[in-house]
Amino acid sequence: MLNIVIFGAPGSGKGTQSERIVEKYGINHISTGDVLRAEIKNGTELGKTAKGYIDQGQLIPDSLMIDILASVFDSFKDSKGVIFDGFPRTIAQAEALKVMLRERGQEVSVMLDLEVPEDELMVRLIKRGKDSGRADDNEETIKKRLNVYHSQTAPLIDWYKAEGQYRHIKGLGTMEDIFADICKEIDAVAGK
Ligand code: ATP
């Protein structure tokens, strides 16, 4: 199985590139942000809890996130692979993902880090907030999310380097160029 972690700061383009990867490689997409937004929309207890954190630009607690991830992962039977988009976001989540996959006889195939300069991230997220009305895409919450990214999520770069799974992708340029770079890395691990 192809288990791809797509990684990057908020606004780095993980969601957009994930959709293309899913289409080309025929794998399943797990976007933890999408899962949480669906729960909020449906007014579930989990959605209510999640909303409090998301609106503050904070992360949902690890234990809760890890349970959600495992149940979504197990809902894909006979899958060719999965792209993890928005997970892991902390070292504890990365360790839990490693254990979860190992228990199922699998591992992360590759971690793709979409790197985008900070001023570009701000521009993209503010534009997305205006277009989509996503409540956490306002200037104040974006700044908090970027701080959370630097303090809690960016340490995963060294963690995945140590695992030998890290690949850097330049996240600036046309969507096609970025996608081509991503495909090169995936094809290298998929042995195609
Ligand atoms: P992108 O712009 O690249 O799609 P994003 O960071 O803007 O990414 P989402 O990935 O959709 O947006 O996440 C939105 C919010 O959902 C986060 O700010 C966080 O509060 C919550 N969240 C999503 N995934 C996790 C996770 N793995 N752990 C904790 N909280 C999470």
Is 10 domain-assigned? yes
Residue 21 CB neighbour total at 10 angstroms = 22
Please tell me the predicted confidence (pLDDT) of residue 16.
Answer: 95
The yes-or-no verdict on residue 192 having pLDDT over 60 is no
The yes-or-no verdict on residue 24 having pLDDT over 60 is yes
Residue 171 carries which DSSP code?
-
Owning domain of residue 70: 2-187
CATH number for position 69: 3.40.50.300
Is 192 domain-assigned? no
Of the residues 134, 143, 144, 167, only one is catalytic, namely 134
Q: Which residues contact 63 (CB under 8 A, 6 or more apart)?
A: none
The yes-or-no verdict on residue 114 having pLDDT over 90 is yes
Report residue 113 as tokens.
């880090």
The yes-or-no verdict on residue 191 having pLDDT over 80 is no
Is 160 domain-assigned? yes
The pTM score is 0.95
Ligand 1 within 6 A of 32 CB?
yes
Q: What is the pLDDT of residues 70-90, one digit of tens each?
A: 999 999 988 999 999 999 999
Ligand 1 within 6 A of 21 CB?
no
Annotation: binding site for AMP: 32, 37, 58-60, 86-89, 93, 134, 145
134: left (phi over 0), alpha (psi -120 to 50) or beta: beta
What is the count of structural domains for the chain?
1
Does the annotation mark 98 as catalytic? no
